Structure 1
Amino acid sequence: MSHLSKIKTKIKNKIVLQQSLKDLNILSNTSPDLQDIQIYSEDIKFKYNVLFKWEKNNYEFIADSNTWQEKNMLSSLLEKIQQQYAYNTIMKTSRGEGFQYIEQEILKDGSMRIILEKWL
């Protein structure tokens, strides 16, 4: 039985979202006149067709899953996208404010530590 899930996200910037999907090698379709972004996979092991739907001031992650395993895989996919989006947002904002990237580290829990510096 199919189950449609809608998850509200804090993703607001279409350009940063598109860059994040590209960085993760996730296939996507979008039209210039719409805010919505469709992502999909052609992988036989895990096929998905997901929509990032623009809702007033942020994106919703809308996915259809048939099993709990698929639901868990989609949750994991969303977590990866959100982490990459956060990283890209931090890098874009920090460069705009004069910070320079020093290094990054992936921690044991999967989180990322980013070191930036700014000389005054």
Structure 2
Amino acid sequence: MSHFTKCELKMTNLTALKRALEDMELDYTEAQANQSVQVRGWRGQTLDASMCINMGKYDIGVVSAGDGTYDLTADWWGVETTKGISEAEFKDRLSQRYAYHNVLQACEGKGYTVEEERNEEDGSIQLVVRKWVSD
């Protein structure tokens, strides 16, 4: 019986994901072209993935859904018992950092620069961006 379960978080931007993982100080291994990396689970079970996030004894896999999106798949019980972070906590923290980097990347791609960034008490992040346009 497999202990791997999919987290309900869909991602499309691997660059934003890697930056979010770096913010969270998590090590990851990305598969080479046309290859996969192995994700470790309960009792030596493994899963092939596009990326492996090292959580100690257990890993979190970034698995292609085949439609340009990626899912997070892991033995969440193992991750929680060895790292002390639940699936919900991980998903919430990663979602915020992923969205932050996704927005920054989109702004930079359209020629905007970040003028101000505020971390609010409720955990939200306020960004003020500006684009200079010449006549």
TM-score interval for Structure 1 and Structure 2 normalised by the shorter chain: 0.7 to 0.9
Counterpart Cα distance in 2 of 1:49 and 1:77: 13
Show the counterpart of 2:23.
23
TM-score, normalised via structure 1 length: 0.78
Question: Unpaired segments of 5 or more residues in structure 2?
Answer: 36-48
Show the counterpart of 1:83.
96
Give the ranges of 4+ consecutive aligned residues of structure 1 lying more than 3 Å apart after TM superposition: 69-72
1:103 aligned onto 2:124: no
Question: Unpaired segments of 5 or more residues in structure 1?
Answer: none
Kept in 2: contact 1:29–1:37 (CA 8 A): yes
Q: Could you report, residue by residue, the CA deviation over 1:47-102 in whole angstroms, capped at 9, with x for unpaired residues?
A: 641111111221111121338x6596222112212211111111111112111101
Kept in 2: contact 1:39–1:50 (CA 8 A): yes
Counterpart Cα distance in 2 of 1:118 and 1:74: 38
Q: In the alignment, which of 35, 46, 62 is matched to residue 52 of structure 1?
A: 62
Q: In structure 1, the residue corresponding to 2:75 is in which secondary structure?
A: strand
Kindly tell me the number of residue pairs found equivalent between the two proteins. Answer: 114
Kept in 2: contact 1:100–1:118 (CA 8 A): yes
The percent identity for this pair of structures is: 23
Query: Aligned in 2, Cα 1:22/1:115: closer, same or farther, shift over 3 Å?
Result: same
Give me the CA root mean square deviation. 2.4
TM-score, normalised via structure 2 length: 0.71
Aligned amino acid, residue 25 of structure 2: N
Aligned amino acid, residue 54 of structure 2: Y
Larger-gyration structure (1/2): 2
Counterpart Cα distance in 2 of 1:66 and 1:10: 20
Q: In the alignment, which of 68, 74, 88 is matched to residue 87 of structure 2?
A: 74
Kept in 2: contact 1:9–1:58 (CA 8 A): no
